[in-house]
Amino acid sequence: MSSGKDGERMRVSVVIPALNEEKSVGLVVAAIPRGLCGEIVVVNNGSTDATAQVAAVAGARVVDEPCRGYGAACLKGIASLAPTDVVVFLDADYSDHPDEMPRVVTPILDGRADLVIGSRVLGSRERGALLPQAYFGNKLATFLIRLLYGVRFTDLGPFRAIRWDMLQKLRMADRDFGWTVEMQAKAAKMGLRVTEVPVSYRRRVGVSKITGTLRGTALAGWKIIYTILKCRLE
């Protein structure tokens, strides 16, 4: 529970999609500021390791989504949440800094924003943390959003917070690589109050399922472009 505008109490929940992240998910859950957040949900997205057990021991509530896909995991996490006011998303690979969550949610708690994107581009990055293919993909995607929607972003970073009521209005549907850009494109189209805050970024624990392989990078790039165009034409 956190104080919002005019002192009202706002409930903050966290959703963490996780696929084979047993080495890092415990670190992520442990680093989340407990005084800020209430419910922490780790979505076990078809892991074949001890991700679920490690997350539970660290203090998260674990739900299962056997159908793999980043968006599918996020949707399952949303569906499992108790009543809340703000939802925070971050990755389970410990590349984000969960202790920076206050700066991500504060614009919402203060009544200044509906959606806050943690920008790795604006923040400090450990050398080699943001791979060249990810950096280029971000540049292309944010350029297309600015061109088609007239809204400027610097990043599609996974560390983000959104008001619960606005999340429902977006009617999120993507079940894999297009999740983050779908949220930003729809928010831009609907005129939500969106802001970016700088966040730190470090090398992830393990190998990325997306940018860590040529196939994953190609599929993600294609899906991101497709999603931007699809949302614009809907």
Name all contacts of 211-215 with Cβ < 8 Å and 24+ positions apart: 211/131, 211/133, 211/134, 211/137
What is the average pLDDT value for the chain, to the nearest integer?
Answer: 92
- At 146-183, the pLDDT tens digits run 999 999 999 999 999 999 999 999 999 999 989 999 99
Whole-angstrom distance, CA of residue 14 vs CA of residue 89: 6
Sequential DSSP letters for 29-84: HHHS-TTT-S-EEEEE-S-SSSHHHHHHHHTPEEEE--S--HHHHHHHHHHHPPS-
pTM of the full structure: 0.91
Token pair belonging to 56: 């539970």
Task: Give Dmax over CA atoms of the chain in angstroms.
Answer: 49
- At 54-71, the pLDDT tens digits run 999 999 999 999 999 999
- 66-92 average pLDDT score: 97
In CATH terms, the fold of domain 2-233 is Spore Coat Polysaccharide Biosynthesis Protein SpsA; Chain A (3.90.550)
